[in-house]
Amino acid sequence: MVEILECIMLACFGVSWPISVYKSLTSRSTKGKSVVFIVAILVGYIAGIAGKIIGGNINYVLVLYAFNFLVVSADLVLFFINKKREREAEINASNAGGESHA
């Protein structure tokens, strides 16, 4: 029963992460995202995975931990890609504004 409840919790969290990745892909923005929050979630999944392994309780729930970890990791990568895009856009906007004064 414990594994079933843990599985339900991970499945509920797991539904939201692909949506977050989709939002990151389509918006190409970091607006509404927090790198600290994403890293905290990753640390939590690492702790959950480690707990399963150290406790010798390796079962199907570990697959959900791994899946969620991978999807959140993808969201973290997209955060940095989008952050780089935003910085480049700011630089380009700043350079474009500076050229009009020449």
Listed in sequence order, the residues at least 6 apart from 64 whose beta carbon sits closer than 8 Å to its beta carbon are 7, 10, 11, 14
- The pLDDT-based confidence of 98 (bands split at 50, 70, 90) is low
Q: Is residue 3 part of a domain?
A: no
Domain count for the chain, please give it. 1
Q: Which structural domain range is residue 38 located in?
A: 33-81
CB 41, CB 72: distance < 8 Å: yes
- The average pLDDT across 53-81 equals 93
Q: Is residue 76 part of a domain?
A: yes
- The pLDDT-based confidence of 99 (bands split at 50, 70, 90) is low
Q: Is residue 28 part of a domain?
A: no
Q: Is residue 44 part of a domain?
A: yes
Q: Is residue 45 part of a domain?
A: yes
Q: Is residue 39 part of a domain?
A: yes
Q: Is residue 21 part of a domain?
A: no
pTM: 0.82
- The average pLDDT across 4-21 equals 89
Q: Is residue 53 part of a domain?
A: yes
